[in-house]
Structure 1
Amino acid sequence: STGLLFKRCTLLLPTKDRLKYTHKILSEVSCFKLNGCPSPLHCLGLQCYGVFLQILTAGWDELECHRVFNFLCELSNLPRKVQTVVSSKPGSARKLELRIRLYCRSVLLNHWIHRSDSAFWLTRILKPWPMVNQARLLYIIFGPVSSLDGDLAPSLFKKKLLCHLIYCSGHVVWQKMIEGPTDETSLKGLADAIKLLYDTEAREWTADDVISLVDELSVVPREWLMENNARLLILSGNNICFTFMASKAVNGRAVELARLMVFLALVCEKDLYCMDWAVKMMQKVCKVFSTPGERNNFLQCVENAFVHMIMDMLQAVLSGDRDEEDSSFLNLFHLVNAQANFHKEILYLTMRSNSNTV
């Protein structure tokens, strides 16, 4: 490949000179620039650029890769463009948000084989910014996007390009987590990124850093629906979910934690996850409380949260304001089933414990 040939031809040169030659060659291709291609959604330029850089830098040490990132930032003016979108009203710079998403994913993130490499480059993108901006930027890069305006003829594009368009088409949808429950597809990219940062190979991130980032993400651009929070935590994995909930327990936020517990049960019911997972998660969280009184208060809060949510949903059904999908009734149906299955698993667990002690 071109990347491998270039790598071998410049093998004896210092990193600085290799990057100069890289710039000299690649700067002639407008589609390799962040703002260079007039139609980036229909072009594989950034994808090719990313593959070239991955081959070129494979095996380079961390210091050299830092230099590469700084070189790319200088070349693309990425920091200034990121500053523009994270300090603007979400959605006010749609085209720039999309170009940053395309550039970060196609050039910097998508082509690495090892998770440690992906974590390194994602860290380079996020770490220069304060936590609130990290959350905004994470949403821009991995959050849900709309479909393209207008129709695309699949026959005009190669399969690889179509896959590229699926995750980068249209524009970032900022209201997705606020307006109603969303699906796994809209959250999977964010969850995978969070897991990547939580991974032990991402040395520059502590567990507290990642949990704070998740907390900050849940108010981008405004406070999310609790169901979407719960779904993100489930997709992010057991360790992140437990650590997030444990932090709330330690900080005395029992009422908020109880509501989250109910929504975890609701998501398990809706998305057909095993309900015993939610019960076991609650068991683990209960052990975080330092006294029996705190633990009992939390359990009472969980029951109260179930009651209040069911009453609220029942009131919505009785009010008669129904949409075409009858979502109010469906939500009530799922919540009642979630409560029944949640308590069923608790009874099973209790009976098993009792039989083991007899």
Structure 2
Amino acid sequence: MTSTVSTSFTLIPNQKYRRSSRRSKPFCNTVDTDSESLSTLGNFKALPLEIFQMVLKYLSVKDISMLSMVSKAVSNRLINYISTSSGNRRLLLQDFHNLEISGKREGSCVLEHYRSLGLLLKRCTLLLPTKDRLKYIHKILSEVSCFKLSGCPSPLHCLGLQCYGVFLQTLTAGWDELECHRVFNFLCELSNLPRKVQTVVSSKPGSARKLELRIRLFCRSVLLNHWIHRSDSAFWLTRILKPWPMVNQARLLYIIFGPVSSLNVVPREWLMENNARLLILSGNNICFTFMASKAVNGRAVELARLVVFLALVCEKDLYCMDWAVKMMQKVCKVFSTPGERNNFLQSVENAFAHMIMDMLQSVMSGDRDEEDSSFLNLFHLVNAQANFHKEILYLTMRSTST
């Protein structure tokens, strides 16, 4: 995958064409014996299969993955080796729980091993369609219980899901968006992730704590944490959230990224200026939805103060003031009666006046904070009010002239 989600994922040159133009064939459990296959084995054709597999024991996983690109015949022999019990024991390390005792170096070695294993299976299955690749890889990894969402008895002390995530990240690197969709759907089918998510988002918070924790660990360790670029993590996070309505998305985001232990203190309330800045950065749709909700629920005074702070942020951060005016104009259409709309506009003017008087009183009393920003805030607020009303006058004059 590339670093931007908006563009399609980078393809390995000619990879998609070769796979799509080739007839899908299942993996063979026996070595090809025709002369063409034997000729591509090179010096290995003189070795019996048992000796060939003994030679592989002396090669690292990285070296074996390089060997898999020599020819299709060699790749098939490697696939047979991976499917054997000896190959499974050698390649599928499953000691994921005693790594903290050995230290970080031991854990990083296991992660690197599965990164190399992902590259090996990526190369061995290069010519197969995505569906067949995933089926074969699942067949190889199905015996590793710690790779399953609910397979490990102590997931907090297990490195299994992280190894699975590193493996999948290496395997899917360079795949296009459609292939990655298939990978996600395949993982959902294997882990029954949608049904488990449905259980936690439809129940009371904390009533299924163990399941919430397993979903958190699976999503983060397998799908989100191992990407270098944020846009890649955003792609997989979008796949996780997309099937659910907004209220369930918020709950799911909290499960995945929120605190694990209970909060011991009540967080301080955000300043209104920071709330306004967050709304501006969130975009027009979210900002309007938030403000329209206040208008519908009769919270005109709060909405008026928010409009003032939107104007203040536009002034401080050099945004176009006409954006704040147009947003207020759009929100005015939400009010059901002219009386409610006029009451809201009066509240906006009152909010400007009260804030200016409060700041002026603070400046005149000599109360200064560490940064001595009282006068500067007053300066910005007065300018914000002037520019805000200037844009309203421009809008009014344009409408009357037409």
TM-score normalised to structure 2 length: 0.46
1:231·1:267 contact (CA, 8 Å) conserved in 2? yes
Change (3 A) 1:34 1:335: farther
Distance 2:363 2:150 in 1: 50
Deviations, residues 46-80 of structure 1 (Å, cap 9, x unaligned): 99986753452479999997997799999999999
User: Kindly tell me: are residues 283 and 140 of structure 1, through their superposed partners in 2, closer, same or farther at Cα, counting changes over 3 Å?
Assistant: same
Contact 1:218 1:229 in 2 (8 A): no
Residue 305 of structure 1: how far off its partner (Å): 1.2
TM-score, length-normalised on structure 1? 0.51
Superposed displacement of residue 230, structure 1: 0.9
Partner of 1:354: helix, strand, or coil?
Answer: helix
Q: Retained in 2: the 8 A contact 1:82–1:100?
A: yes
Give the unaligned 5+ runs of structure 1: 148-216
| Structure 2 counterpart SS, 1:265 | helix
How far apart are 1:272 and its partner, in Å? 0.4
Once residues 349 and 386 of structure 2 are traced to their aligned partners in structure 1, the CA distance between those partners, rounded to angstroms, is 12
Who is 1:287 aligned against? 333
Relative to structure 2, which stretch is displaced further, 118-127 or 336-345?
Answer: 118-127
Alpha-carbon separation, structure 2, partners of 1:325 and 1:100: 45
SS of 2:151's partner is coil
Evaluate the alpha carbon distance shift between residue 233 and residue 9 of structure 1 in structure 2; reply closer, same or farther with a 3 A threshold: same
Shift of 1:235: 0.7
- After superposition, give the CA deviation of every residue in 1:153-195 in whole Å (9 maximum; x if it has no partner): xxxxxxxxxxxxxxxxxxxxxxxxxxxxxxxxxxxxxxxxxxx
Shift of 1:290: 1.7
Task: Spell out, residue by residue over 1:129-174, the C-alpha distance to the aligned partner (whole angstroms, 9 max, x if none).
Answer: 9999976985898899999xxxxxxxxxxxxxxxxxxxxxxxxxxx
Per-residue deviation, 1:340: 0.9
Task: Tell me if the contact between 1:317 and 1:329 (Cα under 8 Å) persists in the aligned partners.
Answer: yes
Relative distance call for 1:23 and 1:318 in structure 2 (3 A) is farther
- CA deviation map 1:13-60 (0-9, x unaligned): 999998899899999999999999999999999999867534524799
Which deviations, in whole Å up to 9, do the C-alpha atoms of 1:217-272 show, x marking residues without a partner?
Answer: 99994532111111111111112211221122122221111111111111101100
**Residue correspondence of structure 1 range 296-307 to structure 2 within 5 A:** 296-307=342-353
1:85 to 187, 200, 219: 200
CA distance 1:81–1:335, shift in 2 (3 Å):
farther
- Partner of 1:240: helix, strand, or coil? helix
Seen in structure 2, the aligned counterparts of structure 1 residues 293 and 64 have a Cα distance that, compared at 3 Å, is same
Per mean C-alpha deviation after superposition, the further-off stretch among 222-231 and 16-25 is 16-25
Size of the alignment, in residue pairs?
A: 287
- Identify if the C-alpha distance between structure 1 residues 271 and 128 changes in structure 2 by more than 3 Å, giving closer, same or farther: same
Gaps of 5+ in 2: 1-115
C-alpha distance in structure 1 between counterparts of 2:367 and 2:349, whole Å:
27
State which drifts further: 252-261 or 121-130: 121-130
C-alpha distance in structure 1 between counterparts of 2:156 and 2:387, whole Å: 45
Deviation digits for residues 113-140 of structure 1 (CA, Å, limit 9, x no counterpart): 9999756632576699999997698589
Describe the shift of the 1:347–1:129 C-alpha distance in structure 2 as closer, same or farther (beyond 3 A): closer
Q: Which residue of 1 aligns with 2:392?
A: 346
Identify if the C-alpha distance between structure 1 residues 331 and 32 changes in structure 2 by more than 3 Å, giving closer, same or farther: farther
User: 3-state DSSP class of the match of 1:321?
Assistant: coil
Deviation of 1:274 after TM superposition, in Å, equals 0.6
CA deviation vs aligned residue, 1:187-211 (integer Å, no higher than 9, x gap): xxxxxxxxxxxxxxxxxxxxxxxxx
Aligned mates of 1:92, 1:332 — CA distance in 2? 49
Give the CA deviation at 1:324.
3.4
1:89 to 1:350, Cα distance in 2 relative to 1, 3 A: same
In 2 relative to 1, CA 290–82 (structure 1 residues): closer, same or farther, beyond 3 Å? closer
Q: Structure 2: how far apart are the matches of 1:146 and 1:248?
A: 32
Q: Aligned in 2, Cα 1:85/1:262: closer, same or farther, shift over 3 Å?
A: farther
- Measure the CA separation in 2 of the matches of 1:243 and 1:135: 15
Structure 1 residue 319: deviation in Å?
2.9
CA-based RMSD: 6.8
Could you tell me whether the CA contact under 8 Å between 1:136 and 1:220 is conserved in 2? no
Quickly say closer, same or farther: Cα 1:89–1:312, change in 2 above 3 A. farther
- When residues 14 and 349 of structure 1 are mapped into structure 2, their CA distance, relative to the original with a 3 A threshold, is closer
SS in 1 for 2:314: helix
Measure the CA separation in 2 of the matches of 1:292 and 1:245: 18
Q: 1:128 to 1:285 in 2, by over 3 A?
A: closer
Q: Which residue of the other structure, out of 140, 148, 160, is the alignment partner of 1:45?
A: 160
Who wins on radius of gyration, i.e. which is larger?
A: 2
Instruction: Tell me which moved more, 330-339 or 218-227.
Output: 218-227
